[in-house]
Amino acid sequence: MKLLPKEHANLVEQAIRAAQAAGDLPAFDIPEIEVRPPKRPEQGDYAASVALQLAKPAKLNPFHIATQIAHHMPAADFVSAVEVLHPGFINFRLNPEWLKAQVDSIITEGENLFQLDLGVGKRAQVEFVSANPTGPLHVGRSRGAIVGDSIARILEATGYSVEREYYFNNAGVQMTNLGNSLRLRYLEALGMPVEIPGADDKTFYHGDYLRDFAKQLIAEKRNTLVEEDWLPFKEYAEVKMFEIIRTTLKRVNIHHEVFFNENSLYDSGAVWKILEALEKGGYVYESNIRENADEEEREKAKNYAPAKWFRSTTFGDKEDRVVVKSDGNPTYTLPDIAYHANKIERGFDLLVNILGADHFTQHQVVKYGIQALNMDSSKIHVILVQLVRMIKDGEVQKISTRAGAIETLDDLIDQTSADAVRYILLARSPDSHLDFDLDAAVAQTNENPVYYIQNAHVRCAGIFRQTSDISDDGADLSLLGDAEMTFIRKALELGDVLEFSAVNLEPHKIAFYAHELASVFHPIYDNVRVLSTDVSPDLAKARLRFYRAAQVVFKRVLNLMGMTAPEVM
């Protein structure tokens, strides 16, 4: 399938060169030519404003330039007319015959509709979710999960070979706390005298899931673990937690090819090698306080033991960061830098990392670390998704894994549907804060955009259920009307939306496009009937062919968003 903006831009460029060669336009450098569908139908199907940009360099009035460009415009099978409008827009109209033929092209491409070659031969990695196995996935994590997986799908559709990766840490204080928490729940479930910490105890995980784990653990091991410390409990909880997380992700159609354990960076010695490299570069110093600290800070740090600091200020950070604590253990920063260095060494052409907005500072420090290692950080693209807040009964819910006050992704799916959750979390710019109004999502289920879009696919499927005895092979597409062509025009924009989403890593564009496409479809469905006594067999055949193409487009778009394309609702 053609990417029409590009095709038109090529024509314009050829026309400008031709006009210059003929002496009808003066010499000037040709800028990047942008062509896109204008807002209003009377302004054509595609429009270029390049003549307006050229007025200055060419020292001519834009209308004249546009006229000359139009005059030299080469012919193309997809263009039927070129118009020039004041103050200097060049408007194209698609050739109706060509347009109608696209119905067959769409059906031929099928599930690979607008499969692009942007990333062919290239490897991309998308890292997302990356939650430590301390609790079920909550809503805050879910947004990054959906955005990450959707980006992966879009990259696949543009030809990339994509790996989805999940980075996690199963060591550290939080996991010890988790082990301890399960241990207490285990003893509690055995009826032993234990004191469960209060809700404000930050070392205890209060979630009910640990009660469940404790019961299962007793079923498996009885009371044989009574004398054990936190470790076997931590190991048990970790395995169980990952099972749950994977199952939850599967429910929303997400799976990761690689689970990368932070520990492996210690096992391989990578963490210390990175530290050594940073030290060699002169980016590390030992002190009880960062350089350039003010008097107040110095006073506070007077009694601290020395730690190792990364001089990230060299790269524009506002303060240096501790990489090795005074107790000799690295902070999260060091393995994080090692992890990203590892990613780069694995030779991906594109690295995408989905992070919550609260990790902004962290990713900056990691980036400075990569620079200090003299590695190319330009392949790393970080998508920061703004925080999600749950609104319930009109009030903001506090989310805290430790306190057990969690709105989990599972709850959300149970109360709505996997497709609805995906769409709601996807259909927003990542930069925009998202208030997930649970009451509205549940109550307005029938008006949720997800069903509006899926219903278009369902309606197509409904037609084919009723017409299994009619073949649409060899349909005469010239019988199709203007309404159907409005839809085909919109459908042909999918490739551009896809390319834009991939290049800019903005998957929400697909979500909005899907809704626009459905809103073009539904009115047509109402008026363009297949089974009606006043529709001739030939016309019915042509319309059937049209709906087959429409169904292909909706299925492709829904798949790109990781949603199902149901036959019935």
Looking only at residues 305 through 324 of this chain, which bind RNA when binding is defined by CB under 7 A? 305-307, 318-319, 322
* CA-closest candidate to residue 512, choices 525, 526, 485, 494: 494
Q: Determine the interface stretch with RNA among 115-123, 138-146, 183-191, 517-525 (rule: CB under 7 A).
A: 517-525
**DSSP structure class, residue 407:** -
Nearer to RNA, 125 or 416 (CB): 416
42 contributes a contact to RNA by CB under 7 A: yes
Among 367, 506, 546, 560, binds RNA (CB under 7 A): 506
Q: List the interface residues with RNA, window 50-69 (CB under 7 A).
A: 52-53, 55-56
Q: Determine the interface stretch with RNA among 35-43, 135-143, 217-225, 263-271 (rule: CB under 7 A).
A: 35-43
300 contributes a contact to RNA by CB under 7 A: no
Other beta carbons within 10 Å of 333: 19
Phi, psi of 176, rounded to the nearest 5 degrees: -65, -45
Is the distance from CB of 315 to CB of 368 less than 8 angstroms?
yes
Q: Indicate the SS3 state at residue 118.
A: coil
Q: How far, in Å, CA of 559 to CA of 421, rounded?
A: 15
Other beta carbons within 10 Å of 74: 11
Q: Nearest distance from residue 154's CB to RNA, in Å? A: 14
Q: Determine the interface stretch with RNA among 42-50, 70-78, 145-153, 181-189 (rule: CB under 7 A).
A: 42-50
Phi, psi of 91, rounded to the nearest 5 degrees: -110, 135
Q: What angle do CA 344, 345, 349 make, to 5 degrees?
A: 50
567 contributes a contact to RNA by CB under 7 A: yes
537 exposed, middle or buried (CB, 10 Å; 0-12, 13-18, 19+)?
Answer: exposed
Nearer to RNA, 21 or 316 (CB): 316
Q: How far, in Å, CA of 418 to CA of 412, rounded?
A: 8
Q: Nearest distance from residue 125's CB to RNA, in Å? A: 20
Nearer to RNA, 282 or 316 (CB): 316
Q: List the interface residues with RNA, window 370-389 (CB under 7 A).
A: 384, 386-387
Q: Determine the interface stretch with RNA among 142-150, 237-245, 326-334, 343-351 (rule: CB under 7 A).
A: 326-334
304 contributes a contact to RNA by CB under 7 A: yes
Q: Nearest distance from residue 21's CB to RNA, in Å? A: 24
Among 266, 285, 315, 332, binds RNA (CB under 7 A): 332
Alpha helix stretches (DSSP H) within 22-138:
50-58, 62-71, 96-109
Among 95, 251, 529, 559, binds RNA (CB under 7 A): 529
Is the distance from CB of 322 to CB of 333 less than 8 angstroms?
yes
Sheet with 434-437, side-by-side order of all strands: 395-397, 388-392, 434-437
Q: How far, in Å, CA of 279 to CA of 242, rounded?
A: 36
426: left (phi over 0), alpha (psi -120 to 50) or beta: alpha
85 contributes a contact to RNA by CB under 7 A: yes
Q: List the interface residues with RNA, window 148-207 (CB under 7 A).
A: 169, 172-174
Q: List the interface residues with RNA, window 254-273 (CB under 7 A).
A: 262
509 contributes a contact to RNA by CB under 7 A: yes
* CA-closest candidate to residue 455, choices 531, 551, 542: 551
466 contributes a contact to RNA by CB under 7 A: yes
Nearer to RNA, 205 or 451 (CB): 451
**DSSP structure class, residue 189:** H
Q: Nearest distance from residue 66's CB to RNA, in Å? A: 10
User: What is the per-residue burial (b if ≥16 Cβ within 10 Å, else e) of 456-492?
Assistant: bbbbbbbbbeebeeeebeebebebbeeebbbbbbbbb
Q: Determine the interface stretch with RNA among 19-27, 110-118, 248-256, 507-515 (rule: CB under 7 A).
A: 507-515
Q: What angle do CA 489, 495, 499 make, to 5 degrees?
A: 145
288 contributes a contact to RNA by CB under 7 A: yes
528 contributes a contact to RNA by CB under 7 A: yes
34 contributes a contact to RNA by CB under 7 A: yes
Q: List the interface residues with RNA, window 387-406 (CB under 7 A).
A: 387
* CA-closest candidate to residue 4, choices 554, 518, 499, 555: 499
Among 289, 341, 480, 560, binds RNA (CB under 7 A): 289
**DSSP structure class, residue 138:** B
Q: Nearest distance from residue 556's CB to RNA, in Å? A: 18
Q: Determine the interface stretch with RNA among 106-114, 179-187, 406-414, 526-534 (rule: CB under 7 A).
A: 526-534
Q: Nearest distance from residue 415's CB to RNA, in Å? A: 14
Nearer to RNA, 216 or 444 (CB): 444
Residues near RNA (CB under 7 A), total: 95
Q: Nearest distance from residue 161's CB to RNA, in Å? A: 26
458 contributes a contact to RNA by CB under 7 A: yes
Query: Could you tell me the two tokens for 32?
Result: 């990047």
Q: How far, in Å, CA of 464 to CA of 107, rounded?
A: 15
Site string for RNA, 108-147 (x = CB under 7 A): ------------------------x---------------
538 contributes a contact to RNA by CB under 7 A: no
Q: List the interface residues with RNA, window 432-451 (CB under 7 A).
A: 432-435, 444-447, 449, 451
Cβ partners under 8 Å of residue 430, min gap 6: 147, 383, 384, 385, 386, 506, 508
331 contributes a contact to RNA by CB under 7 A: yes
Among 463, 485, 488, 561, binds RNA (CB under 7 A): 463
Q: Determine the interface stretch with RNA among 207-215, 269-277, 406-414, 495-503 (rule: CB under 7 A).
A: 495-503
SS (H, E, C) 486-538: HHHHHHCCHHHHHHHHHHHCCCHHHHHHHHHHHHHHHHHHHHCCCCCCCCCHH
Query: Could you tell me the two tokens for 388?
Result: 């999600």
275 contributes a contact to RNA by CB under 7 A: no
519 contributes a contact to RNA by CB under 7 A: yes
